[in-house]
Structure 1
């Protein structure tokens, strides 16, 4: 795992402040891409947008390329599953979880993940954090990612034409 240069909790505070002033979906995606890896202490992150019945991997910050720019049916990928079920998914070992499309993951060094839906009760995006080792992320890491997702959802709600 990459060594963190800053406190992950402080990173969440900084990210939430930035999200509060985001002016577009592109800004939100950029903020998540720039901050989530530090907050999670992970080897990679992906920002995934829901486009109808597909997951669009809009951005990533990882030690190797993942799936940026690709689309997958919601029902066949872990980000889609998190959005459809509106719940955080923790996968300590991608080889052992039937929800994971293992053929795709075998092309990467990623072995563990947390996928957090963004927006509720109908998520419009997801945030994934990935590790190269098989690990069980601690509760603090999961809570920070869920907190970041809540701030992103609030920013998205604020930007909607029918929002506040």
Structure 2
């Protein structure tokens, strides 16, 4: 059986230097499909006070993922199709934006998690992947995106 296990993780923290240590909004980390699947780009983390749907990004993140990849049953291996099942977890928190502009209930560490399945194709143009993820741990202010499509290149 051609089963491949993939475990990955990441972390980051950004801090302003000098002055009051504030950061511009576009200097904050934004969530993405490499951080956690099942949520939209920039769909988790601190939000503004005005519209609880505008995610501002965060100053700290942690993420982890476990995935099992396998050949697709019945489909010849020469087609280059593989399946995957995965579980992701992540948190994105902290803010160096003026506190009066940020919903303070969304600034603290709050974990999100998702589980899902994927289909990968080693196409002649490069690897193509489609994932379907279901959030199993989310906050009311999160933006969910269950399907994700990606194309990458070979080096």
Q: Provide TM-score, normalisation by structure 1.
A: 0.26
Larger Rg: 2
Q: Provide TM-score, normalisation by structure 2.
A: 0.27
The structure carrying a bigger strand percent of its residues is 2
The structure carrying a bigger helix percent of its residues is 1
